A and B are shown apart, each in its own frame.
Chain A
Amino acid sequence: MRAAATVSERTAPAAAPAAARSRPGAAGQRRALAGLALLLALAPLAFPNAYVYEVAILVALNAVVCVGLNLLIGYAGQVSLGHAAFFALGGYGSALLAVHAGWPVWASLPAALAAVALIAWAVGRPTLRLEGHTLAMATLGLGVIVSIVLANEDRLTGGPDGMSVPPLALFGHTLHGERAWYAVAAAALWLAVAMALNLVHSPVGRALRALHGSPVAAETLGIDSARWKLRVFVISAVMAATAGALAAHHGGFITPGKASFLHSVELVIMVVFGGMASVWGAVVGAAVLTLLPQLLTVLKDYETMVFGAVLVATMVFFPRGIVPTLARLWGRGAR
C-alpha cells in the first residue's frame, strides 16, 4: 500500500476530479426549485375566482408549517403533537401586540415570532434531553394549555369567538386582496422549501439525519443530540408561527380553534402522509390533505374518519410516506 503520511494529508482532496465533484442530486434539486417557482408563478392564471386563491393561500401556508414540522419529525426524529399552538401563537401574538399595545404590524409580527422561539426553547430544552417520545408529550401538553388559555382570556383574546386581526401594512401600503396575499404566501413557501433543502444538505442536516439514523453513533462523532434537536424544534416552531401570523393578517380574524389538538394532529398527518424525511413530501402532503376536504365538501361529516384512515393506511401500506415511496418505485422502474 502507499507510503505513510498524516491522516489529514491523506484525506485532503487529492486530485482535481475529486474536489470538483459536486453533490449528487444538486442539479436535480436546482431544477426542482426552479420548477416550483414556475408553478407558483403560473398557477394563478388558472384560478377562476377569489375562492380558489383563498384555497391556494391556505395550501401554501399549511405547506410552510409542514416543511418545518417535517424537519422535526423526519430528520430529527421527534414528534410534535402541539404544533398548531405555535401556528396560533404567531397569529395571536402579532394581533395582541397590534390591537392592545398599538404596535404597527411590521413590528408586532417579528416580535410574535421571537416570543414563539422563546417558548419553544423553554419547552424543548428540558424535554429534549430525555430519551424517547418526551417531546411528543410536552408539545401535547403545551398545545392544549395554549388553546385553553386562548379561549379563556376573553378580555384579551376575545375568547372562543376569537378576535379580529389588523391587516399587514408595509411602508404605508396595506397588503390587500387575494393576489397580493397569494404572492406573499407563495414566496414564503418557496423560501421555506429552499432553506429546508439547504439545511438538509449541510453539516447541520447531516447531523440531524445522523441523530435519526443512529443516535449512539452520532454522539460518538461529536454530535450533541440535545442541542441539535432543540434548534430544529425552535426553527420548526418559528416556521409554524410565521405561517400562522400570515394567515391571521390575511384573514383578518383568528380563533382559539387554530391551536387545537385536532389541528396539531392534522399537521402531523400531512407530514406523515407526504413523507417523513422528505421536504417535497411535506409540500405534497400539505397540498393533498388541504385540498381533500375542500374538494369533498359533500363529505364534511366523513372528514375525521377519512383523515384517520389516511394516517393508518399510510403507516401500514407506505410508511415512508407517499413521495419517498413513489420516488423509490420510480427509481426501480428507471433501471
Chain B
Amino acid sequence: MDSSALQFVAGGLTAGAIYALVALGFSIVYHASHAINFAQGEFVMVGGMAAVSFVGFGLPLVAAVPLAVLAAMMVGVLVQRLAIEPAQAAQARLQGASGRRPDVVTLIIVTIGVALVLRGVAQLLWDKRVHSLAAFSGQQPITLPGGATIVPQSLWVLAGTALAVAALAWFFGRTLYGKAMQAAAINPLAAQLMGISPRGVMRVSFALAALLGALGGVLTAPITFTSYDTGVMLGLKGFAAAMLGGLGSFAGAVAGGLLLGLVESLGAGFVSSAYKDAMAFIVILLVLFVLPGGLLGARRSDRV
C-alpha cells in the first residue's frame, strides 16, 4: 500500500478508536433509556482537562490519569442524579394522567442542557486555552512497515480502547449485574419485578458512559490537545459513529467508530481536507436516509 494511504489509515484508526469509546458511551445510555446523551462529549473533555489539572498540581501521569477518569465518572453520576433523574420524574408526573411512556425528546433536551452547563463550568474552572498532556511513553515516532509513522501515544489509544471493549464485553456478558442491565433494557418491568432497579441501571450506565468518555479524553489529549470545548465536536462525531453502527449495539459502536475514523481520514487525505469535519455528519444523514437502523442495529419491524 502507498505509504501516505497507510498513514491515513493509521491516523484514522487512532481517531476511530476514540470515536468508538465515545460511541460506546452513547450506546450504553441509549440501551438503558432510549435517549441520546448529548453530554457524552463533555465527559471526554472533563477527563482530558482534569488530567491536565492533576498533572499541574504536581501529580505524576500514572496517578493523574486514573484520577481524572474517576473524577469524570463522579461527574457522570452527579449529572444523572441531579439533572437526568429529576427531569425524568418531572416528565413522568406530567404524563401521569395519560400513562404514556416518557418522552424521549425530554432526555435529549436535558442532556443538551447538561452539556452546556459542563462546558460553561469548564470555561470558568479552567480557561479558553488549549492544553496538552504529556505523552504516556514519549514522543519518538515509530516507523511501521510500509513507510508510515505513528507516535507511541496512538498505540496507547488503540490498546486502551481494545482493553475497554474487552472489559465491557466481560462485564455485560459474564457478570450478573451486567446481564441484569441487559435484561432491564429489554423489559424494564420484568427486570424491576426481579429486583433490578431501573434507576440503578441508569446510574451505572451513566457512570460507565462517563468512564469511557473520560478514558478517550485522557488517551487522546497528548495527540489532539484539549480545551473546554473539545467535547462538542467529539460528542457529535461519536454520536455519528454510534448511529452508523446502530444505536444500542455495542459491537456496532466500535465498528462505527473505527469506520468513521477511517472514512474521515481517507476522505480528508484523498478528497478534501476542508470538509474533514463534515464527514461524520454526512454519515449521519446517509445512515438516516439509507439504513436507519445502522449497520448492526435492529431492522425496522412492525409498529405496535
Contacts and interface: CB of A to CB of B under 8 A. Distances in A.
Interface residues of B, number: 45
Contacts of A317: 90
Given A142-B285, A145-B285, A268-B109, A305 B275 contact: no
B112 A268 contact: yes
Main secondary structure of the interface of A (DSSP, over half): helix
B108 A130 contact: no
A43 B282 CA distance: 45
Given A148-B278, A261-B232, A137 B113 contact: no
Which range holds the interface residue count of chain A? Answer: 35 or more
A315 B109 contact: yes
A249 to B, nearest CB: 28
B124 interface: yes
Contacts of B110: 311-312, 315-316
Interface of B: 36, 83, 86-87, 90-91, 94, 100, 103-106, 108-110, 112-121, 123-124, 232, 236, 239-240, 243, 274-275, 277-278, 281-282, 284-285, 288-289, 292, 300, 303
Contact of B106 (A306, A310, A319): A319
Contact of A305 (B86, B104, B121, B288): B121
A319 B120 contact: no
Contacts, number: 137
Contacts of B282: 141, 145
Contacts of B108: 79, 133, 136
A308 B87 CA distance: 14
Contacts of A301: 123-124
A27 B276 CA distance: 55
B243 A137 contact: yes
A161 interface: no
Contacts of A294: none
From A149, A262, A308, A314, residue with most partner B Cβ within 10 Å: A308
Contacts of B292: 130, 134
Given A126-B288, A136-B108, A145 B278 contact: yes
A32 B112 CA distance: 33
Nearest to B293: A130
B116 A305 contact: yes
A145 B113 contact: no
Contacts of A309: 113, 116-117, 120
The 7 A-B residue pairs with the shortest CB-CB distance in the complex, in nearest-first order: A305-B120, A308-B116, A311-B113, A308-B117, A304-B120, A141-B284, A312-B113
B34 to A, nearest CB: 8
Interface in A293-326: 301-312, 314-317, 319-320
A133 B115 CA distance: 19
